[in-house]
Amino acid sequence: MFRYALVLAALYASAGLTGCGKKGQDGGAVAPSAIPVQVLVVESRKLTNSTEYLAILKSRHSATINPQVEGQITKIFVKSGERVTAGKPLLQIDPLKQEATVSSQEAARLAQEANVRLAKVNLDRAVKLQAAGVISRADFDNAQTNYDTAVAQLKSLEHQVQQQQVELRYYQVSAPMEGIVGDIPVRVGDRVGVTTLLTTVDEPGALEAYIYVPASRSKDLRLGLPVKLLDESGAVLAQSEITFVSPQVDTDTQTVLAKAAVGNSNTRLRISQQVRAQVAWGTRNGPVVPVLAVQRISGEYFLFVAVKDGSRTVARQRAVKLGEIVGNDYAVLEGVQPGDHVIVSGTQFLQDGAPVTEQLKEAGKTGESEKSSGAKSN
């Protein structure tokens, strides 16, 4: 390519010198020779209208672990990234105060059991005395009432002991399911409450891509839209489709949450990994031009088109508005139309209005697969 550029430069310089050095019979300067260039006929191609957004991968089955009681963390049994089974202890919250409460309630229950036994003895005695006519009916009723009250209080205390024992188990935080432990933002000695995030347990395997789409584009969001997940180099990591669209707009970010289910059988993707999500809105037909035919000048994009100017062919510079890159081509939004002859070689040596000789290059072919469509170069 570099040698070809040097040859073109030499030809262009030679043509300029010839034009400047020679004069016609009437004394006027002779027009410079045409520069041979390769051209490609612009074709219309089916293009995908897509937009890229930042996405975050999350487990489709994830549990957020918060304590059910308040207290100070005394032990942490696991590390971030560790695989755990359901029921495995994760953290320990200081249980001393709760243990004392359980002991106090248990002592009260034992004391009430003694009261029940005494009330039962008094009731049995009252039954015998009332049958012998020694005590009145009122005394018998009092004995029955004392016994019933003691039994009811014992049942109440038993329920309280059970409740306190259940709450005591909350001081040891366990994994609710099998999975991988996430980040543990707390440390031994921290005091935690019921709203404190202790960690997460994520089930390995299938993931979901959380895609945050601007609210201005939310009207186009719908279930089933194709989604490609790309890495930093643009390589496709996974293909999916929109499986969930939030009915609400996030007031802070003015975005709408969309989700796409992602299979992860080879575990290439990680939980909390950030990827590029390319959402395909639809398809359209439009012109494409080779990337190498486009020049960027002062932030704007230009290319050269070979057009007829009377009896000769000249290069005309056009400003173009480009879309996404499709393979080795740019999708063109404005500037050229299907059928235009785009110059794809020697553009760095061309100026607007320079005469050229076209050599037609067939799309999709390389090397010397060219057809001459104009005057042959000297």
pLDDT tens profile 219-246? 889 999 999 998 888 788 888 999 999 9
At the topology level, CATH places domain 2-47+285-372 in 2.40.420
> What pLDDT does residue 145 have?
95
Residue 11 has pLDDT above 70, yes or no: no
The Cα 54–Cα 209 span in angstroms is: 10
Q: Give the residue, 48 or 338, on which the prediction is more confident.
A: 338
Residue 145's alpha-carbon distances to 126, 280, 285, 328, in angstroms, are 12, 78, 92, 95
> What pLDDT does residue 364 have?
55
> What pLDDT does residue 33 have?
82
Average pLDDT for residues 163-189, to the nearest whole number? 93
- 44: helix, strand or coil: strand
Residues 6+ apart with CB under 8 A from 72: 93, 94, 189, 190, 191, 192
The Cα 298–Cα 128 span in angstroms is: 113
> What pLDDT does residue 118 have?
95
Supply the CATH classification number for the domain 51-62+204-283: 2.40.30.170
Residue 160 has pLDDT above 80, yes or no: yes
Which residue's structure tokens are 């960690």? Answer: 199
Average pLDDT for residues 291-295, to the nearest whole number? 89
The Cα 218–Cα 212 span in angstroms is: 10
Taken in order 68, 73, 78, 82, is the CA torsion positive or negative? positive
**Does this model's pTM top 0.85?**
no
Indicate the pairing of strand 207-214 with strand 43-59. Answer: antiparallel
CB 178, CB 85: distance < 8 Å = yes
Domain locations in the chain as residue ranges: 2-47+285-372, 51-62+204-283, 63-192
Rounded to the nearest integer, the mean pLDDT of the chain is 84
Segment among 72-86, 302-316, 354-368 with least mean pLDDT: 354-368
Segment among 160-164, 226-230, 336-340, 368-372 with least mean pLDDT: 368-372
Indicate the pairing of strand 35-41 with strand 356-361. Answer: parallel
The Cα 150–Cα 357 span in angstroms is: 113
The Cα 325–Cα 45 span in angstroms is: 13
Average pLDDT for residues 138-151, to the nearest whole number? 94
Average pLDDT for residues 194-207, to the nearest whole number? 88
Q: Which two tokens stand for residue 193?
A: 């409450």
> What pLDDT does residue 345 have?
87
Average pLDDT for residues 309-329, to the nearest whole number? 87
Residue 362 has pLDDT above 90, yes or no: no
Q: Give the residue, 17 or 176, on which the prediction is more confident.
A: 176
CB 55, CB 131: distance < 8 Å = no
Average pLDDT for residues 351-355, to the nearest whole number? 90
Predicted confidence (pLDDT) per residue in 246-276, tens digit? 999 999 999 999 999 988 766 678 888 889 9
Q: Which two tokens stand for residue 212?
A: 């945050």
For 295, the enclosing helix (H) or strand (E) is: strand 295-297
Closest CA to 102 of 196, 191, 171: 171
Average pLDDT for residues 24-53, to the nearest whole number? 76
> What pLDDT does residue 21 have?
43
